[in-house]
Amino acid sequence: VVDFRTFFPDTGMFTYDPGYTSTASCSSTITFIDGSKGELRYRGIPIETLATEHSYLETCYLLLNEHLPGKEELLDFDLELRHRAYIHEGLRTLFNAFPDNAHPMATLSATVTALASFHKEHLTLDNEADFHTMASRILAKIPTIAAFSYRHSLGIPFIQPNIELSFTENFLTMMRAYPGGKMKLTANGHSEIKEVEVRALDTIFTLHADHEQNASTTVVRGVASTGAHPYVAIASGISALWGRAHGGANESVIAQLEMIGSVDRVEEFIARAKDPNDDFRLMGFGHRVYKNFDPRAKILKTLQDELKEELDLDSHLMEIAGRIEEIALSDEYFISRNLYPNIDFYTGIILTALQIPKNMFTPIFVIGRTVGWITQWIEFKKDPTSKIARPRQLYVGK
């Protein structure tokens, strides 16, 4: 038994909370989650409404401006992002420094750090217009950097943003305009992007837009608290998201479904997930906050079922995933620990149908989440009670 007063004689209270399971690090007006009811709202609006009735850009506007945009506001915002999507030629040449097989998350994080050196003015933001320019610039450029990161990993030429295309269609075009695989090319050399594909990806972006104080957002706020450049804070968030316990889970889910390989083998892997001596975990299951269900997963499952035919989803992988769900949801081990499918369980199958390879799943998460990170960064900066993030420790050494 440790008497904390020995270590902190002058402190009124000391909490020891590994993983911050019950510690609020800030107050916020951005995102509300009720983990026991499976509720998620951005600025008070339920995620179900945003995912089915609004676009990702409207959601970005809502997070940043605290209200949904009117028609004119949306047009201006959309146009601004289209103009800002290009990246500096100097930044483009940076890609040559990375090995061909670099993971796009590594390239993305490093390039976003480098972007800070092209926009030193964002270190001091004096008024609303400054905050707005800083935020829209990173929102617009992230898809371009992500697509370039991917194309670099294949060793194929970059496709510049096209000002005539919407945010999501532009990203899909920069990714897929490549004469290979089963992609169909149009006369201008771009792969044909179907409306249903744009809608599916746009919904995925919306579902990822923010999620209060998750690991990567906590990192972004922590870096913000030291006074570093906002884009460096975003780059740190990207690095934190990469891990497979967080955003990297979406890549691991598909890798795991492929490894399981057939419905007959599902029970064998469920048994492994339950074995305390085996560190195997069912990827895409469990969540720190949702202890009933993840509402984002529910929306994606519905979307997956709706688009099964139109998107030609991989029925074999869907069958394996369906069997995992069926067994896990009626198994005492998973029920007693409140382990339900999370958002990452469903994204992979849809993204695969959009011809997006596994190593781009987490960068897709980054594109959606950038608005949340930057909104949280701004909220932190504007909050007069914000302090440097500097937790204490419980020293147990010599």
Residues in the site for ligand ACO, rule: CB under 6 A?
19, 245-247, 249, 273, 281-288, 337, 339, 342-344
- How near is the Cβ of 206 to ligand ACO at its closest, in Å? 14
Q: What angle is formed at CA 258 by the lines to CA 254 and CA 260, rounded to 5 degrees? A: 115
What minimum distance in Å lies between the beta carbon of 292 and ligand ACO?
14
Distance CA(98)–CA(110), nearest Å, equals: 10
Instruction: Count CA atoms closer than 13 A to 128's CA, side-chain side.
Output: 2
Q: Which is nearer to ligand ACO, 41 or 246 (CB)?
A: 246
Helix (H, G, I), strand (E, B) or coil at 41: strand
User: What is the nearest approach in angstroms of ligand ACO to the Cβ of residue 59?
Assistant: 17
- The residue (of 88 and 246) whose beta carbon lies closer to ligand ACO is 246
* Least distance (Å) between residue 32 CB and ligand ACO: 17
327 CB burial (10 A radius; 0-12, 13-18, 19+): middle
CA distance 220 to 248: 17
Q: Which residue is nearest to ligand ACO (CB)?
A: 286
**Catalytic residue numbers, as ranges:** 287, 344
Amino acid residing at 232: V
**Angle at the Cα of 16 from the Cα atoms of 12 and 21, rounded to 5 degrees:** 125
Cβ proximity to ligand ACO, 38 vs 284, nearer residue: 284
Taking the least distance from each CB to ligand ACO, the nearer of 116 and 343 is 343
Shortest distance, position 273 Cβ to ligand ACO, whole Å? 4
Sheet containing 39-42: which strands, arranged edge to edge?
Answer: 31-34, 39-42, 45-46
Q: Which is nearer to ligand ACO, 132 or 291 (CB)?
A: 291
Distance (Å, whole) CA 390 – CA 384 = 17
Q: What is the closest distance, in whole angstroms, from the C-beta atom of residue 314 to ligand ACO in the complex?
A: 20
Exposure string over 136-162, b if 16+ CB within 10 A, otherwise e: bbbbbbbbbbbbbbbbbbeeeebbebb
CA distances from 84 to 76, 90, 118, 129, 186 (A): 12, 16, 14, 15, 26
Would you say 19 or 155 has its CB closer to ligand ACO?
19
Q: Counting runs of H as helices and runs of E as strands, what totals does the chain give?
A: 17, 3
